Structure 1
Amino acid sequence: MNRLNELFKKKTTPILSIYFTAGYPNLDSTLDIAEALEKGGADFIEIGFPYSDPVADGPVIQASSQVALNNGMTLPILFEQLKDLRKRVSIPVLLMGYVNPVLQYGVENFCNKAAEVGVDGVIVPDLPMYEYENLYKNCFLENKLSNIFLVTPQTSEERIRKIDELSNGFIYLLSSSSTTGKDLQVSDAADAYFQRIKNMELRNPTMIGFGISDQKSFDKAAEYTRGAIVGSAFVKTLGKPDGIAGISGFIRTIK
């Protein structure tokens, strides 16, 4: 088991994950932010590697990606920064981004390097499930990397069952089919969607993302899943003048 599996096995209270973009607000702020998140009470973190066409992201994360790219952030630079990751951070760490940079870097090289620096899992929303299963799964497994799949309200039960079969970390439930940064849908339709997934009694734990921004939305997500992922609301905080200094205060507004 990697650190992520251990967390879900041992933690009994709702789990909070925080996403931020590597290279934002400054090129060299990645490890400082990661360390501050752990000290502030995040249970695991997702480090986004920026891409020039982030189609699933809303304006806040898109803007942070553009700043990071302008700052010079690339996958090779990120991996160089993460060489000291496990000297400073003990909680699970995932990398999140789009498939194009991973293919350019080389999937096998990417998996090997991620494992080498102490990464526990990867979220690549536009990596087709078929390609993962038939081309890359063994590479992920050999490096003890959890590949995290996303589920939307429109995902069929058949596909969810398949995702559950292929997963070895958690399943990421999108609160809606919109881009990141929208508020969590608190409606009968959303409740029915979350309850439907809960009733499936999946083998893997689930987490809700997209629209979690405060304690109310975090608590709502935890009614149906093991916890929630905060992205856009945190990236907004990082954009403030005292961004890194305000991390622990931000986490206290969530949990």
Structure 2
Amino acid sequence: MSRITDLFRKKNQRVLNVYCTAGYPRLNSTMEVMKALQDNGADMIELGMPYSDPLADGPVIQASGSKALENGMSISTLFGQLKELRTTIRLPVLLMGYMNPVLQYGFEKFCAAASAVGIDGLILPDLPIYEFETEYGPVIKKYGLDFVFLITPETFPERIAKVDSLSSGFLYAVSSSSTTGKDKDLNGQRAYFEKLHEMRLRNPVLVGFGIKDKNTFETTCKYTNGAIIGTAYIKALENAKDINAATAAFLKPILGA
């Protein structure tokens, strides 16, 4: 059983997955940020691999990625930082990024390295279903990694059922068809969330894009298994002198701790 599956088996509701950018705010911040998230109540970590052309990311996460690239972050550097990942981090960890740098690194080499350091799953939004089924999915499975597909309010039920059958770990339900970081009326997406609930999907559902505080987190948790927070946390880290203190200050009001 993967760490992600085990998490949802133990805690099926109010799961909080927090996105952070590898190499931000400083090159060597990666493990410090992840440890702070673990120590302050996050249930899962989505570790973003910075890329120069991140199609789904809003300006805040794009800026964090640009800063990380300026700091010297690369996939090779990241795997070097993650060598001791499982000596300190017990939470499920996913790598989120885009196909271009992964293919440049070498897809199977990437999956092997991710598995070797203890990564649990991948989110690659620009990997099409057909290529996943025919070429990349078997490689991902070979190395014991979960793979998470994204769906949107415009995704047809047939496609939702299809990606649910292919995904493992959870489904990433984008709250609206836009980039990260924009304000969303989550209550206005009630019909979308209820549709997902009624479909009795095989995978748990986490909602991302627009989750930023206690109110948006609670709204999301009424209808799904939990939420993904990214942009708001990146903002909290931007000028942080003490990463753990900034993380605690950010998560405490959301979780009601």
TM superposition score category, shorter chain reference: over 0.9
Q: Is the 8 A contact 1:111 1:143 kept in 2?
A: yes
Q: Distance in 2 between matches of 1:11 and 1:243?
A: 30
Amino acid in structure 1 at the alignment position of 2:153: P
> Once the two structures are superposed, what CA deviation does each residue of 1:144-189 show, in whole Å capped at 9, x if it has no partner?
111100000110111101001111110000000010001232344x
Alignment of 1:44 with 2:51, yes or no, is no
**Aligned-residue offset at 1:242:** 2.9
Q: Distance in 2 between matches of 1:217 and 1:74?
A: 33
Change (3 A) 1:243 1:134: farther
Q: Distance in 2 between matches of 1:241 and 1:10?
A: 33
Output aligned runs, 1:202-217, within 5 Å: 202-217=201-216
Alignment of 1:219 with 2:218, yes or no, is yes
Counterpart of 2:190? 191
Amino acid in structure 1 at the alignment position of 2:225: R
Q: Distance in 2 between matches of 1:145 and 1:199?
A: 28
Amino acid in structure 2 at the alignment position of 1:37: L
Change (3 A) 1:184 1:253: farther
3-state SS, counterpart of residue 18 of structure 1: strand
Amino acid in structure 2 at the alignment position of 1:31: M
Alignment of 1:231 with 2:238, yes or no, is no
- Aligned identity (percent) is 52
Structure 1 residues not aligned, in runs of 5+: none
3-state SS, counterpart of residue 173 of structure 2: strand
Change (3 A) 1:154 1:84: same
Amino acid in structure 1 at the alignment position of 2:237: L
> Once the two structures are superposed, what CA deviation does each residue of 1:118-155 show, in whole Å capped at 9, x if it has no partner?
00000000111111111011111121111100000110
Counterpart of 2:66? 66
Alignment of 1:250 with 2:250, yes or no, is yes
Counterpart of 1:100? 100
Structure 2 residues not aligned, in runs of 5+: none
Amino acid in structure 2 at the alignment position of 1:167: S
Query: Given the two structures, how large is their TM-score scaled by the length of structure 2?
Result: 0.97
Counterpart of 1:136? 136
Counterpart of 1:241? 240
Query: Given the two structures, how large is their TM-score scaled by the length of structure 1?
Result: 0.97
Amino acid in structure 1 at the alignment position of 2:185: Q
- RMSD, aligned CA: 1.0
Output aligned runs, 1:14-163, within 5 Å: 14-163=14-163
How many residues are matched? 254
Q: Is the 8 A contact 1:237 1:243 kept in 2?
A: no
Q: Distance in 1 between matches of 2:111 and 2:13?
A: 31
